[in-house]
Structure 1
Amino acid sequence: MSEGEFLHVVTRDDISDGQRTFGRTIVRGSLAILVVTVILQWLDQQGTIALGFETWRPSLYAFVLWAICLCWAQVLIHGERGKRTLFVLPAALFVVALVVFPLIFSVGIALSDWNLASPNGRQFNGVDNIVQMWSDPFYWNAMLNMVWYTLAIVVEYAIAFGLALMLNSNIRARKFFRVAFLLPLMLSPVAVSWMIGKSMLENRFGPVARLLRNLGWEQPSFFGTPEIARATIMIMDAWTYIPFMMIMILAGLQAIPKELHEAAEVDGAPAWRRFWEITFPLMLPVSITAVLIRIIFKLKLADIIINVTAGGPGGATDSVTSFIFREYRDRSNVGYGTMLAMVYLVVIVIAMTILMKVADRWMKPRY
């Protein structure tokens, strides 16, 4: 075989000791610059020294310099293996810049007393925010509300599954109904909150309230009592996101081979048995995926609550996200609000990890 017939020839890396030394030098030097810059910036922010650093851009520039030197050094030190590393390393550094650094910065804010309305500015207060959070009944009420909002996904899933079964059957105008049921998903939750919560459900001039008054309900109020207000928020949010689960389940139903149902029907199995022994088990991976994604969306529930009830009455409809938003906007309490957000993040990570492990066990085939 001639040399021209080779598509690619991998040769041994011929890297001199001088190249390796230079690679290690630029990495260590750029890292030292980054560490020194961050320390100086932090001292300037604390008022210990005055360097005139108004923003954290110097630290950002130092990080970019270190990232470039680190990528360059991979090729200088490891040769061909270092080039393969470059397919992953920039993405990892990008995640560090946009996730890890802001997270560390947020921890610093969470451990400080920082109210934008206070003339004292930002002051370190240790675990005082945690103590305040522990005795804050409104925050724990918002946490309890999130439990109820999340449990409502069971009902949403049942409705979505039923709609998907209907749209997968041979009904008339099936294509029209598929598009019609997807319309709520095309709307923004903010638009839904104003269109339904602020217009249709308005207790004085809303068309739904007028209809209920004509039917005998003298003073219809959808947001006057905690139970009704919470249920109304659940319905509005469900109306928006049930089509999302429906379309995922419908795609899974269409992927099930028709021969399975035909064979079971020939054997005399009734419709309910075909559903429980064929359809539902085969749809379990898709169903669990749809429910997990829906839980992620539900844990971010805020926009409908903020626009319709602002957490009322008396915090009865607050989600954790809407409560943290009002802590920032209404009370300008950046330090305490950040602590609440950090605790909520930890709760979400733990809860989703447990749910994904349980879901993984359910989706494993049993023989």
Structure 2
Amino acid sequence: MSAGDLLHVVTDDTISESRKRLGKALIWGSFAAMVAAFAFCALAARGTVSVELENWRPALYGYLVWATCLCIAQVVVKGEQGKRTLFILPATLFVVAMVIFPLIFALTLAFSNWNLSAFDGPQFNGLDNVRQMWADPFYWNALKNMVWYTLAILVEYAIAFGLALILSSQIKARKFFRVAFLLPLMLSPVAVSWMVGKSMLEIRFGPISRLARWLGWDRPAFFSDPEIARFMIMAMDAWTFIPFMMIMLLAGLQAIPREVQEAAKVDGASGWRGFWEVTFPLMLPVSLTAILIRIIFKLKLADIIINVTSGGPGGATDSVTSFIFREYRDRSNVGYGTLLALFYLVLIVLAITVFMKLVDRWMNPRY
């Protein structure tokens, strides 16, 4: 082996026992300081100690000190192996700080009564928020609406696939139609809600409402009837995001080798049969990815509902996100709203996990 090759060889360091003890003392000492900082902030928040703190900044400093000492100790205790750990450990600690700690804070709020209009802070109330949630018909109605909103993705997928097939074929002005079909995706959902929901569908002066009256509909109130209002919310949301699915499916179609399609035509698989037996199976990975991403976007549906109907009439168009938003904004009920959000998060994680399991079994059947 040449001398130059030795530069790429990582050898185990000979770490002395005293150096290892120093590294472990650094870890556990900084950890004890962090725990003490968190305990002090908790006692100050409950009024147990006489010191008043404006925020939990000492706990943040304690965590930063522990994270820094933990990274240093990796090199002190493990040597070269510890340097490898530093490629991952800081990012992991950052994720813990940005995700785990807020989640723990949210769990404490979920079992508290905290109304921003009151002078006192959060007060622990046990399972009262849980009982209120089980007896809240508006929240369960919002969950039921989310089922319908999510099922509408199948229709959106069919429309997006059809548009992608048209744009992938040799039609005139193909580039123009690609740009035209992408225009709704370039608009903000808030802009769509005001441009379509508040302007074009306005009951008195909206152009669509005038056209409906001219066609014989006496009172074209698009957002007064629950079923029609829910359908209009679905339509506006679909109009905004169908181009997103379309562009993903179009990219998948263009990635299919022409030789495969030509071979299928030679074998007699043309038209619908060629699509169902050749194109559609090859597009399954792209299709499932587009559907999964669309589901994630759909589960956050709120802006169109908040701007157009505010959940009405009578909560008929509410999504879970819009309902929780109004719980925070209109009722200032932080504790109850946080519990609803965490329960919704658990449902999302379970639903996405089941969906991924079913997709995996479908794509990779085990005999």
1:94 aligns with 2:94: yes
Using a 3 Å threshold, how does the CA distance of structure 1 residues 154 and 221 change in structure 2: closer, same or farther?
same
Q: Which amino acid aligns with 1:79?
A: G
SS class of match (2:179): helix
1:212 Cα offset (Å) = 1.0
Using a 3 Å threshold, how does the CA distance of structure 1 residues 5 and 24 change in structure 2: closer, same or farther?
closer
Of stretches 43-52 and 303-312 in structure 1, the one that deviates more from structure 2 is 43-52
In structure 2, the residue matched to 1:267 is 267
Find the aligned partners of 1:331 and 1:215 in 2 and give their Cα distance: 42
Q: Which amino acid aligns with 2:148?
A: W
In structure 1, the residue matched to 2:361 is 361
1:4 Cα offset (Å) = 4.6
Of stretches 6-15 and 48-57 in structure 1, the one that deviates more from structure 2 is 6-15
**Cα distance per residue 1:9-52 (max 9 Å; x no partner):** 43330222221111111110110011111111111111111222
**Cα distance per residue 1:76-123 (max 9 Å; x no partner):** 111111111111111110110000000000000010011111234321
Q: Which amino acid aligns with 1:290?
A: A
Q: Which amino acid aligns with 1:193?
A: S
Find the aligned partners of 1:366 and 1:283 in 2 and give their Cα distance: 21
SS class of match (2:268): coil
In structure 2, the residue matched to 1:351 is 351
Find the aligned partners of 2:235 and 2:275 in 1 and give their Cα distance: 27
1:257 aligns with 2:236: no
SS class of match (1:234): helix
Q: Which amino acid aligns with 1:258?
A: R
In structure 2, the residue matched to 1:181 is 181
In structure 1, the residue matched to 2:115 is 115
SS class of match (2:316): coil
SS class of match (2:244): helix
In structure 2, the residue matched to 1:160 is 160
In structure 1, the residue matched to 2:198 is 198
Q: Which amino acid aligns with 1:332?
A: S
Q: Work out the percentage of aligned pairs sharing the same amino acid.
A: 70
1:25 aligns with 2:34: no
Using a 3 Å threshold, how does the CA distance of structure 1 residues 327 and 276 change in structure 2: closer, same or farther?
same
1:244 Cα offset (Å) = 0.7
Find the aligned partners of 1:342 and 1:309 in 2 and give their Cα distance: 25
When the two structures are superposed, what TM-score results if normalisation uses the length of structure 1?
Answer: 0.97
Find the aligned partners of 2:2 and 2:69 in 1 and give their Cα distance: 40
Find the aligned partners of 2:120 and 2:71 in 1 and give their Cα distance: 43
Find the aligned partners of 2:155 and 2:69 in 1 and give their Cα distance: 54
1:267 Cα offset (Å) = 2.3
- RMSD over equivalenced CA pairs, Å: 1.3
Find the aligned partners of 2:285 and 2:4 in 1 and give their Cα distance: 50
Q: Which amino acid aligns with 2:307?
A: N
Find the aligned partners of 1:219 and 1:35 in 2 and give their Cα distance: 65
SS class of match (2:15): coil
Q: Which amino acid aligns with 2:243?
A: P
Using a 3 Å threshold, how does the CA distance of structure 1 residues 129 and 365 change in structure 2: closer, same or farther?
closer
In structure 2, the residue matched to 1:313 is 313
In structure 2, the residue matched to 1:295 is 295
Q: Which amino acid aligns with 2:354?
A: I
Find the aligned partners of 1:257 and 1:203 in 2 and give their Cα distance: 51
1:256 Cα offset (Å) = 0.8
**Cα distance per residue 1:258-317 (max 9 Å; x no partner):** 111111212222311100100000101110110011000000000000001000000000
Find the aligned partners of 2:205 and 2:46 in 1 and give their Cα distance: 55
In structure 2, the residue matched to 1:127 is 127
Of stretches 262-271 and 218-227 in structure 1, the one that deviates more from structure 2 is 262-271
Find the aligned partners of 1:203 and 1:5 in 2 and give their Cα distance: 78
Q: Which amino acid aligns with 2:227?
A: E
Find the aligned partners of 2:67 and 2:106 in 1 and give their Cα distance: 22
Find the aligned partners of 2:22 and 2:303 in 1 and give their Cα distance: 53
Find the aligned partners of 2:122 and 2:16 in 1 and give their Cα distance: 52
**Cα distance per residue 1:150-178 (max 9 Å; x no partner):** 00001000000000000000000001111
Q: Which runs of 5+ in 2 are unaligned?
A: none
**Cα distance per residue 1:326-356 (max 9 Å; x no partner):** 0000000000000000100000010011001
Find the aligned partners of 1:358 and 1:163 in 2 and give their Cα distance: 27
Find the aligned partners of 1:330 and 1:254 in 2 and give their Cα distance: 49
In structure 1, the residue matched to 2:220 is 220
In structure 2, the residue matched to 1:48 is 48
1:230 aligns with 2:234: no
When the two structures are superposed, what TM-score results if normalisation uses the length of structure 2?
Answer: 0.97
1:366 Cα offset (Å) = 8.0
